[in-house]
């Protein structure tokens, strides 16, 4: 199936907006869905500023900018998605919310439409169980910042069909991404590999082994990472990261995923990282 029209739920959020931008830049019509039109308008306004910076840096032209923005359609109700080919859900990590969304969409979307979740840790199989199109539900796990990161992790639920997988591979290639195939296990593949390092950095910081700056500098200069683990957590959002850490720990019982006290305290204080101006670093 050729993917010609896509909807992104949570399209004004950090991940959602990056997904919307990436799809629109590929020339595909994309519905930016939020629960109210004001939030959707704010999301598109934010994207316009991001795309304007690309013009300012002479990476795209003014005409390119207009064409990209014209591909983004605002949406605040599920009925507007009746003719989309693919939906990407990018709301926060709550299994009950995701299942409710998929159940409602299942009764509205055309039968051949694909339902995709951007979850980074929750079970794709469980999310799919809320629908009657079990074979057409798959995980499309993008990475932040979406327009820059090349990878999409395709997570196969127990009932996901090979046709759905193949259609999503083609779609990802069309929007300039490369894919890997992962099983529906806690954290899938990338988080299984990455979280022990991130959590280890938090543990080192909590133990006073080094400053946040030196911990990150060790990874950037000594391991050739593009960004340090504590700065990356601030970028992801400490609240979002804590949700993933908890899911991983509860799903595996592996101590490597056990959230550290300092991480919990920062979240309890409302210090989520870049989006709040304070996390392991201060951005105000």
Residue positions annotated with a catalytic role? 120, 141, 153, 191
**What DSSP string runs through 137-148?**
EEEEEE-SSTTT
Residue environment code for 257-283, b if the CB has 16+ CB neighbours within 10 A, otherwise e:
bebbeebeebbeeebbbbbbebbbbee
CA distance 280 to 15: 20
Question: Given the DSSP bridges, would you call strands 151-156 and 137-142 parallel, antiparallel or unpaired?
Answer: antiparallel
Beta strands, E only, the chain:
5-9, 29-33, 72-75, 86-89, 114-117, 137-142, 151-156, 178-183
């Amino acid at each position: 199936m050729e993917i010609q029209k896509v909807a992104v739920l949570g399209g004004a959020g950090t991940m959602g907006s990056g997904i919307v931008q990436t799809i629109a830049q590929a020339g595909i019509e994309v519905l930016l869905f939020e629960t109210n039109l004001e939030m959707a308008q704010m999301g598109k306004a934010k994207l316009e500023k991001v795309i304007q910076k690309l013009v300012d840096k002479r990476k795209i032209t003014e005409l390119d900018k207009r064409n990209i923005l014209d591909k983004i359609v605002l949406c605040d109700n599920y009925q507007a998605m009746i003719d989309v080919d693919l939906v990407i859900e990018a709301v926060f990590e709550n299994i009950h919310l995701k299942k409710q969304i998929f159940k409602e969409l299942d009764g509205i979307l055309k039968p051949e439409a694909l339902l995709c979740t951007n979850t980074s840790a929750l079970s794709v199989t469980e999310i799919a169980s809320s629908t009657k199109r079990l074979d057409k539900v798959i995980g499309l796990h993008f990475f932040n910042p979406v327009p820059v990161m090349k990878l999409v992790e395709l997570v196969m639920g127990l009932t996901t069909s090979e046709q759905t997988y193949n259609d999503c591979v083609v779609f990802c290639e069309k929007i300039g991404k490369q894919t890997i195939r992962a099983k529906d296990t806690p954290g899938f593949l990338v988080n299984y590999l990455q979280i022990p390092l991130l959590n280890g950095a938090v543990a080192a910081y909590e133990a006073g082994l080094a400053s946040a700056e030196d911990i990150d500098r060790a990874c950037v200069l000594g391991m050739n990472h593009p960004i340090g683990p504590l700065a990356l957590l601030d970028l992801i959002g400490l609240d979002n990261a804590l949700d993933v850490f908890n899911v991983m720990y509860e799903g595996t019982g592996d101590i490597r995923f056990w959230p550290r006290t300092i991480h919990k305290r920062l979240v309890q204080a409302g210090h989520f990282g870049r989006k709040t101006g304070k996390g392991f670093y201060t951005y105000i």
